[in-house]
Each structure stands twice: as structure tokens, then as C-alpha cells.
Amino acid sequence: MRLTPRFVVVLVILVALAGTGTIVSTQTPAIDRGIRIASGASALAPGTSDPSALATLRSWDQRITDMDRSGDMQRIASVDDAIVAGRVQERFVQRHRGVPVFGGDVTRQLNRFGQAESVFGAFYPDIAIDVTPTISADDARARLGRVGNGTPHGRGEVELMVLPSSDGTYRLTWTARVFSSADAWIRRVFIDAHTGATVLTYNDTWTQTASVGSGAGVLGDKKKVMTSLQSGKYLAVDLMRPPDLRTYGSFPKGSMLTFDLKNNISYAVKIFDTASPAVSDIATDDDNLWTDPGLVDAHTYAGYTYDFYNKRFSRKGLDNNNLQTWTFVNPVRAQDYTIYYNQYSSLFLNAAYLGGGNIYYGVGLPSGVTLGGQQWYPFSGALDVVAHELTHGVTDYTSKLIYSGESGALNESFSDMMGIAVEFYFQSQGSGVGQADWLIGEDIARPGGLRSAAAPNSYGDPDHYSLKYTGTGDNGGVHTNSSIVNHMYYLAIIGGTNRVSKQTVTGVGFENRTQIENVIYRAFTVLMPANATFAVARAATIQAARDLYGANSAAERSITQAWSAVGVS
């Protein structure tokens, strides 16, 4: 708790200034974070042979004993000193007519003869208020919960308290520590016990420190995991990104939280429905050596994707305002696929952006179980898949491309293209798992992955507009027809000849791929309307290329040729 250490520090400093035997009679106790309560009379008498100091010590010793008897002080602890033999350490809290006084707190150290060796603390001597509340405890509980956006938490829950004010007056209050599941903070809230008005609130989450752990991902690759240390446990809460945008009273804006749904499918479905996980659902670890590969990758890759957008496009998170991102893993056990797959196939073989910065990842299938000739691993195990889902979040806060028909295919394609870009940004180029290539999801659907930007036709997807899926399935082919745009992206960078049109494209070259990435990002986040068609996308990307690199630039030529090659004019 922050109050006590600072309180003691204040007194210790005064001892040093005053010198042995000097009595410090007043001080101003302060609560952390700039919240102050009123000055109170206090006593400090270090063990000394100075007659004056000794007299004051004896005086305070007697006052405390008297107040203990009268009920103005309540002894809440009396323990043998574990370090200095023969000493007894006592702690008292002040009460006014039985009601505790916030900040009224004294410690007394007794020697082997029962004499006071020291007294430290603050005592408020002039309280004269009635302690009968107008508001009931139950009413207060509800009000405190509303103010703190949560539920009164911990022992005592709701407590009547005399609160000293900075103007020297006192108020009877109801107080509680309120735990908010919305942002995982605990707040100390005081409301007036007569009027219900909020008197004081402050963040009362005692310790939380950014920490760096480690763990192996789905591919067995060891990586660093950004966590936070709270109450002796490590939480999958990334406080490192971005550190400069801390918002008081909540987790830092932009922090990434990973929730472990502990394979409880009904709970997972409820969470996805309401987007209201409990703080206890945040994945935890005792030693910061994380052992759940899917969780490690989901949490870590979310950070990588943030970094990519930030470094490449100076974007701050999904909403460009460091929206907090919640990732959900382990919605179901993979081995329960025989029970749940028919009803909840997406919790096994899918990942989804739920809106509002919330993403979940399917768990794949058990080892040895294949589908379509492929082994399916936790979907968070592929960097391009994670970047794909988070890019849906970018779309959510920019173009809002309608998830149907051509605009839906553009929505999917933007996620695929950025997923590929993120892979190339962080991984070395190659054709194996864990390497950057033009496939989507090759790390979690093995062998082969889900789609190919280089050769869509080999996956049964159209690589030319003339082959566009025109049915109603898949929201009008949002995943199928995205391949036409993906292939345009590939041709604009690498170049080549379209299989159908036979048109040849001169790409900007792999080493200049950032030009096309920048063009795509600008077009899809700035220029594109929600109901864009492929033709609009062509025009928007050509405009973006001109904006960024000039008319008739290599980027514009490549983009133009690539759209034409895939049949979009």
C-alpha cells in the first residue's frame, strides 16, 4: 500500500531534521497521487535520554494508553519484535465514536519493561461529527460500485469512515475499494454518508510493474513476453507499448491484454457475446516463464503488429489512439472437437475480430487429427493471422469496409496484405514455417496454409476478376474474392504474368515493397469508402501512389498494371 511507506518517510525525515530528543508535534500526512487529507496533531518521540523528549514521549505514551481505554484509539496489533529482542510493536487506529478515522494511525514500540521507546503517527484530536449515516450500507455499496465502475472488493467491502478534509473539517463517509472489470483497476472511493455525493476517489491498485517474461510459441520458438507484475503474479498485460500514453485510472491506453478462457466454452461464448471478461480471466503465470504456446504467440504477435503499424505508418494502435486490445485464447479444448466442432467450428478453426479491439483465436485440432489433409494448430501461432485479425480492427476504425460482396473482399484482402507485410517485417524470407512468404496461415494450417497471394488458383481461389465468386456464400465471397486483390498486391511488388489475362506486370521489386505497403495502407485507411468496389479500390490505390510517389512513379505504374492484370479496370 502506498499510504504507509510515504507516511513513515515523512516522519523519518523530520526526525533527522529535528535531531535527537526533539518533538515534532505537527505534520501533514499525504496520500499518494497528490490527494491530501488534513493536518493532524501527531507525536514523535525517539528513544532518548533527553529529559524534554523523554517527557513528551511519556506524555504521548500515556495519551495513547488513555485513548485506547476510552475507545478513541483501538489497538489492532501487538506483536513481539522479530529483530530486537524484548521489544513489542503495537499499532493503533483512531476511532471517533467507534468509526475509524482515515489516516488516524499510530505505532508504539515498547521495551522489555513495558515502557514506550518510540511513538509515530497521526491523530486527529478535534473531531465532533455525528456518526449516524443517512444512507444505508446496501445503498452505499451500490453507489460506490457505480462511482468505481465495478464491485466493492475485499474484506470489509463497504465501511463507514470519518474522512479528514483539507479544509480542516471532517465528513462521515462510506468507503470501499472498488474493483472494475472494465479496466482491471482498483479504486478507493469515498461517498458522503448523508448525501451520497462522491467525496474522494483515487487509484488504489497497489503494485503493478511492467515486466519481461519469456515463453515458446506454437512453433517452439522462444520469444519474450511482455507482462505486468501484480500482487506477486505475472499477468498477460503488456504495459510496454506504448509507455508514453499512460492514462491515469486505467491500464495504459494501447496496452495489450490476453485473456485465458481456460477451455470453458460456455463462458467463452458468453464473453464473446458481452465482451465483458473478468479481471481473473487475464492469463497469469507464477514465474513469468509462459508455457502455453498459443497464448504466448497471441500476446506477443499482438505487440509485433502494433510495432509494425507504429514504425511503418506511425499508427498508434487500432484506432490510432492506442485503443486497448483484448485477446482471447483457449475458448475450448482442442480434444473436445468431437463434441463441439459442429456447433462451434469457429472456436477451433478460425480467428475473429469481434469489434472494439477484441480478438479471439481458435485452438486448432488435436495432434494427429487432420482436416483437408492439414494439421491445424492454435490460430495465434501464425504472425500473419494475428496481424490479419488486428488489421480488421484498423479497418474498423478507418474505412469500415462493409463485410459483404466486393467491399467485404477488400476488407479481407487488406488484412491479408498487411498480414503478409508484417511477416516480411519480422521474419526472414523463406518457404518454411516461421518464415515470411506469400502464403496466409502457413504456420497454423500445415502444410500449405490457407491462401496464397502469389498463386491463388492453386488454392481454388480466383486470380482474375472474371473468375470472381458471385454466389451468396461467405458473405458474397469475402474470403474467396479477396484473392484477386491479394494477387494484385503480389504482382505490384514482385511482378509477373497473370495466369488468366497473360498481362505482364513490372513490380517495384521486393526490396521496394514498402512503397506498395504504404500505398495500400493509405488507400485503405484514408481514401477508401465503406462501400468500395474493386474499381474504387483501383482508383484509390492509384491515387495513393500518386500522392506518395508522384504521377507516373514506379509505384503508380506497378499498381496500375497489377490491377489491369487481374482484370479490374
Partner 1 sequence: MRRYSFIAITLAITALLSATAAAAQTGAVISVNGIYQGGTEAVSNTVSFTANAETATFTSNFPVKSGPGFDAGLRVGVRGAIGVAIGITRFTATGNADVTAKIPHPFFFNQPRSIAGTANLSREETTTRLAIVFSSAANKRVQVSAFVGPAFFSVKQTLVDAVSYTDSYPYDTATFGQATTKQVTKSKTGVTAGAEVSYFFAKHVGIGLTAAVAKATIPITAVDGSSVSLSAGGTQIGAGLRFRF
Buried/exposed code over 65-96 (b: 16+ C-beta within 10 A; e: otherwise): eebbeeebbeeeeeeeeeeeeebbbbebbbbb
221 vs 294: CA distance, rounded Å: 12
CA–CA separation, 450 and 150 (whole Å):
42
Please confirm, yes or no, whether 479 is among the known catalytic residues: yes
**Which residue among the candidates 479, 487, 517, 556 is catalytic per the annotation?**
479
* Peptide linkage before 100 cis (omega within 30 of 0): no
Look up residue 67 and give its three cell numbers. 485513548
Of 282-311, which residues contact partner 1 (CB under 8 A)? 288, 303-304, 307, 310-311
Residues shown for the chain? 569
Q: Is 226 in the site for partner 1 (CB under 8 A)?
A: yes
Q: Minimal distance in Å, beta carbon 543 to partner 1?
A: 30
Please state the closest distance from residue 524 (CB atom) to partner 1, in A: 23
Residue 293 vs 331, nearer CB to partner 1: 293
Nearer to partner 1, 32 or 221 (CB): 221
Catalytic residue among 117, 389, 406, 442: 389
Q: Count other Cβ atoms within 10 Å, centred on residue 241.
A: 22
Q: How far apart are CA 187 and CA 154, in angstroms?
A: 12
Q: For residue 90, indicate whether it is catalytic.
A: no
Interface residue with partner 1, options 223, 464, 487, 538 (CB under 8 A)? 223
Burial zone of 168 (CB within 10 Å; 0-12 exposed, 13-18 middle, 19+ buried): exposed
Among 103, 145, 213, 419, binds partner 1 (CB under 8 A): 213
Q: Which three cell numbers stand for residue 435?
A: 518464415
Nearer to partner 1, 306 or 469 (CB): 306
CB of 348 to partner 1, least distance (A): 30
DSSP string, 22-50: PPP-EE--B-STT-B---EE-----S---
**Cβ 425 to partner 1 shortest distance, Å:** 12
Does 212 interact with partner 1 (rule: CB under 8 A)? yes
Question: Which residue type occupies 250?
Answer: S
Q: Count residues near partner 1 (CB under 8 A).
A: 18
Half-sphere exposure of 259 (CA within 13 A, CB side): 26
Smallest separation (angstroms) from partner 1 to the CB of 305: 12
224 binds partner 1 (CB under 8 A): yes
Nearer of residues 180 and 305 to partner 1, judged by Cβ: 305
From 153-161, 236-244, 455-463, 544-552, span contacting partner 1 (CB under 8 A):
236-244
Residue closer to partner 1 by CB (options 303, 364) is 303
The answer to whether residue 512 forms part of the interface with partner 1 (CB under 8 A) is no
For partner 1, give the closer residue by CB, 309 or 360.
309
Contacts (CB under 8 A) with partner 1, residues 237-276:
240-244
Smallest separation (angstroms) from partner 1 to the CB of 306: 9
Whether 249 and 187 have beta carbons less than 8 Å apart is answered as yes
Report residue 359 as a C-alpha cell.
Answer: 480478438
In angstroms, rounded to a whole number, what is the distance separating the alpha carbons of residues 551 and 554? 9
When binding is defined by CB under 8 A, the residue of 74, 214, 457, 501 that contacts partner 1 is 214
Contacts with partner 1 by CB under 8 A lie at: 212-214, 222-224, 226, 240-244, 288, 303-304, 307, 310-311
* Enzyme catalytic residues: 389, 479
